[in-house]
Structure 1
Amino acid sequence: MIICLENGKQAVEKLASEGLVNAEAIQLDVTDEDSVRNARIEIGKKTDVLDILINNAGINADGIAEDATAASVENFKKIYETNVYGVVRVTTAFVDILKQSQEPRIVNVSSNMGSLALHSDPNSPNYGYKAFCAYSSSKSALNMYTIHLAYELRDTPFKVNAICPGLTKTDHTNFFGGDVVIAGQRIVKYALLDREGVTGKFISEELNPETGEIPW
């Protein structure tokens, strides 16, 4: 976590050098209840209102590729701890101040690899890509949580969506994929939806450039 916090501080310095001075790094380990609680306390000291929550933390357990018949329970546990339970921890910790916003937005960063429809369709590229069994299923679980969250908040100003940024060139993918800026723009777009924006949707503009929506 010390390394992650230092990375955050470096990012803040870079933003400040570009004139974006209203940014601050706060330590948050989504797998640790105390860390999430402390982050909530620290942010609560600075504001009573949270407009946007982007649940972006995600891992693939050191990049291990496992077919379904070889997948280990430990690998599943490690991935779910961050990709699913971490999102639940953070969302439930911050939902109270999100409710104070006039237009609260929750973006759960998902992946088209979590689409059951695409993975079961022989005509889809996803059909033949089954190497990351635990990771894919964690994103499917995240998608279901997103559906439930959007349903519970359907009669409120909340907009809650699962967004796939596309295969992106980061350390998560061993720097293979598309431009980080484009992926970031896809996420920000749904974090800044207006009152007429969608909610309870699964979006991948990489796969569907026209409307963005893809099947669960």
Structure 2
Amino acid sequence: MTTTLITGANKGLGYETARRLVEAGHTVYVGARDVRRGEEAAARLGARFVQLDITDEESVQAAADFVTKDAGRLDVLVNNAGIVGVRKPIGETSGADMRRTFETNVFGAVRVTRSFLPLLEAGTESVVVNVASGLGSLAATNDPDRIEYTVASLDYTSSKTALVMVNSQYAKAYPGIRFNAVDPGYTATDLNGNSGHNTVEEGADIIVRMALIGPDGPTGGFFDAEGVAAW
């Protein structure tokens, strides 16, 4: 049976991705910081809960140790957990603000990936999906015809750009594992006050699609609902 870990899976895109992958027959580990919410989500989904704060090295390693003992391998990792950032005007965003956002959106994904790499390498068709954003695309944020052009953010946007590059570097370093970044589109979640025009179900489509790619699937790419995303 395919074993899958999803970070930030107690709500939103992570929860919907978990629901769909459980439905597809995966054994899903719901990663969440909050024990109560994580356990409740896992119970509703028919999944397993693992306490996981991606900003804390000890928490991440403890989660990796738990999955190692419980399953012995990991076939799919979805780095979904993220924060919207400080929402300050660009000129008022500080280095400390940037560090806080990168701590979750970039360093957190690296922490989790690094700790789970031995489990991913134990599989034969392992996949990593990094949930990025069109707001991390230079092409999208500089195109006046796209909604991303209208968003002014220094920390969140640059953190998602960095995540796409992190994905690319892992893909080259580990050719036996398929690493892909995805843009779920402007999806209605707590991250944006549920203002997005995509439903959570629509936003999760590309995450699920890339989590289910076969051994001949792509690696090192950036994808949205239409296919290869401009970056």
Q: Is residue 9 from structure 1 mapped to residue 39 from structure 2 by the alignment?
A: yes
Q: Does 1:193 align with 2:213?
A: yes
State the percentage of identical aligned residues: 37
Output the CA distance in 1 between the equivalents of 2:39 and 2:71. 20
- In structure 2, give the amino acid aligned to 1:43: V
Name the aligned partner's letter for residue 159 of structure 1.
R
Partner of 1:59: 83
Write the deviation string for residues 8-67 of structure 1: whole angstroms up to 9, x where unpaired: 111122123xxxxxx111100000011011111111111221100000110023xx3233
- Point out where structure 2 has 5 or more consecutive residues left out of the alignment: 1-30
Equivalent in the alignment of 2:14:
none
Which residue number corresponds to residue 49 of structure 2? 25
Could you state the TM-score of these two structures normalised by the residue count of structure 1?
Answer: 0.86
Aligned residues: 200
Q: CA deviation at 1:2?
A: 8.8
Instruction: Say whether residues 1:213 and 2:231 are aligned partners.
Output: no
Equivalences for residues 128-207 of structure 1 within 5 A? 128-130=150-152, 132-154=153-175, 156=176, 158-177=177-196, 178-205=198-225
Root mean square deviation, CA, Å: 1.8
Aligned equivalents of 1:119, 1:182: Cα separation in 2: 21
Q: 1:110 deviation in Å?
A: 0.3
Distance in 2 (CA, whole Å) between partners of 1:127 and 1:176 is 16
Letter in 2 for 1:39: A
| SS of corresponding position for 2:182 | strand
1:92-141 residue CA offsets vs partner (Å, 9 max, x unmatched): 000011011110000000001001222234454433322x2110000011
Q: 2:23 maps to what in 1?
A: none
Q: Which runs of 5+ in 1 are unaligned?
A: 17-22
TM-score normalised to structure 2 length: 0.81
Structure 2 residue 128 is matched with structure 1 residue 109 = no
Q: Distance in 1 between matches of 2:144 and 2:208?
A: 32
1-side partners of 2:40 and 2:145: how far apart? Answer: 44
Conservation of the 8 A alpha-carbon contact between 2:132 and 2:163: yes
Gap change, CA 1:171 and 1:126, over 3 Å in 2: closer
Deviations 1:147-202 (A, max 9, x none): 10111123x2x211001112222211112222112222321110110122111111
**How far did residue 3 of structure 1 move?**
6.9
In structure 1, what is the Cα distance between the partners aligned to 2:200 and 2:213? 21
Q: Which amino acid aligns with 1:166?
A: G
Aligned mates of 1:90, 1:3 — CA distance in 2? 13
Q: 2:121 corresponds to which residue?
A: 99
Matched residue SS, 1:169: coil
- 2:66 corresponds in structure 1 to 42
What is aligned with 2:17? Answer: none
Larger strand proportion, structure 1 or 2? 2
Code of the aligned partner of 2:37: N
